[in-house]
Amino acid sequence: MNRRERTGHRCSRCGRTFALDPKSEPGRLHDLKFMELVQKGTGGRLWITVDQLYWINERRLYGFPGSKERRSHLTTGIVAALVALALGVLALSVDKHVWVLPLAGSAVFATGRALKDFLAVRRIRDGAHLRPRLSPTRFEFQVINRWREVYHELPPGLVERPPIGAKPGLVKARAVVLCELPAVAAFLRINGFAERHQVLLVEELKQIPADLPVVVLRDLSLSALARTVAVRAALPGRRVVDGGLTPRSVFAPAKAVRLRDPGKPQVPAALAASTGWRRLTDRERDWLAAGQYSPLLTMPPPKLYALAEKAVQRAVTAPTPPATPPVETPERTRRRAERIGFLTWPQAVAGPTADPAQAPTADAPSADFEDGSR
C-alpha cells in the first residue's frame, strides 16, 4: 500500500484507522511491527516496560552491522566514485552542450552515493558505539501515546507505568537483590522475580537487612563499577555478588549496545585500587576509561532476566571451601623422615668375626670393600 492509499492514518481500502506509519512517525514502525517487537521482547512469558521496548526498537534500527556490511559499502563506494569520475571526465570532453547537464547531474548523484557509502564504512567498525535514532521521551510521546490514542490500551505484555515499591514476600528471603536502576527494578518486579526466587528486591543500600548475601545489579560503566566497590566496603564480611556485565562480554562481535560519554571520566581512586579493576585486561580498562558504557536495560529482556537469575544462584550457593590436608602426627612425621634418611646416623658395619670358619678367604671379597672394590 502506497502513501496515497493511507493518508491520515486511515486505510483507503478498508477504512480502518491505524496507529503508526513508518514513513511519518519516528522509529520507523507500523502496527504489525510494533506488535512483533512486543512479542519478541516478552519471549512469550515475560512482561516488559516501555523503556525496554524503546531499546528493542533501537537495536532493530541499528542492526549491528559487521564486516560483511562494511565490505559491501566499501565496494559500492569505490564503484560509485569511479562512475562519478568517468561521468565527470565525459561531461567535460563532449562537444555537444546538450549532454553536459545530464552527465554532470549523473556525476553529482554518483558522487553523493560514494560519499554516503564511505561515511557508512567509517561508521561501521568493530566496537562502534550506537547512536540512538530518537530519544526515549520522543518515543513515548509520538509512538506510545499514538498507540493508546487509537487502541486505548497497550498490547498484552507491555506495561507503561510499573508499580513502585516491592511487595512483601510470602517466604523467607534467601538473598537481597540491590538494583539502583529504577527501570530494571520495575521489570523484575512486574515479573514476580522476588517471589519466584525468594529474594528481597531493594533499590537503596539502606534497605538491605543483615545476615543475607547481596546481589548487585548494575550498568557497565566506571561509575557503576565504583558504586559496586562502595557497596562492598559498606557491607564488610558479607557475601556480595556482582551481577553486572564485564567489558569483554559486550565487545564485538557481541550484539550489545555500546554508548559513549562525550566527556572524559576519571577512574575513581577506590575503583583503581580494587581487586576487580586489576583483574580486567588493559583493553577493558581502556574501554571504560574512554567513556564507553552499556546500560543494563538495553539487554534483551529474556537475557536480562536470566542474568539476574544466575547472579542470585551464585549468591545463595555457598562457595566450596578449599580442601584441607590431613593433620600429620609427630610419630608419622618421624617415620616418614626415617624412610628418606633425614637426620639419621648411618648404621655401623659389623666387624670381622672371631670364628675361623667364618673368616673370609682369598676367593671371597672383604666386607670392608663391599660395593667399593667391585
Residue-wise pLDDT for 333-356, tens only, equals 777 777 776 555 555 545 455 454
Answer with the residue of higher pLDDT: 370 or 278.
278
pLDDT in tens, 78-117: 887 887 788 777 777 776 666 667 777 787 887 887 787 6
Average pLDDT over residues 288-309: 94
231 and 217 in contact (C-beta within 8 Å)? no
Share of the chain above pLDDT 70, in %: 74
CATH class of the domain comprising 164-316: alpha beta
Would you tell me how many other CB atoms lie within 10 Å of the CB of residue 21? Answer: 17
Domain edges within the chain: 3-63+131-151, 67-123, 164-316
25 and 142 in contact (C-beta within 8 Å)? yes
Residue type, 371: D
Nearest to 26 by CA among 152, 123, 146: 146
Would you tell me how many other CB atoms lie within 10 Å of the CB of residue 226? Answer: 20
Nearest to 158 by CA among 49, 19, 44, 35: 49
> What pLDDT was estimated at residue 345?
57
State how far the Cα of 105 lies from the Cα of 110, in Å rounded to an integer: 9
Nearest to 211 by CA among 176, 167, 171, 170: 176
pLDDT in tens, 209-257: 888 999 999 999 999 999 999 999 999 988 999 999 999 999 877 888 9
State how far the Cα of 240 lies from the Cα of 257, in Å rounded to an integer: 26
Answer yes or no: is pLDDT of 301 > 90: yes
State how far the Cα of 242 lies from the Cα of 312, in Å rounded to an integer: 10
Share of the chain above pLDDT 90, in %: 44
Burial 230-268 (b: 16+ CB within 10 A, else e): ebbeebeeeebbbbbbebeebeeeeebbbbeeeeebeeb
**Residue 205 is placed in which grid cell?**
543500600
pTM of the model: 0.72
> What pLDDT was estimated at residue 363?
45
Residue 291 backbone zone (phi > 0: left; psi -120 to 50: alpha; other: beta): left
Nearest to 54 by CA among 123, 135, 116: 135
State how far the Cα of 201 lies from the Cα of 221, in Å rounded to an integer: 22
3-class secondary structure, 12: coil
**Residue 147 is placed in which grid cell?**
498507540
37 and 57 in contact (C-beta within 8 Å)? yes
- Do the bridges between strand 48-49 and strand 175-179 make them parallel or antiparallel, or are there none, so unpaired? unpaired
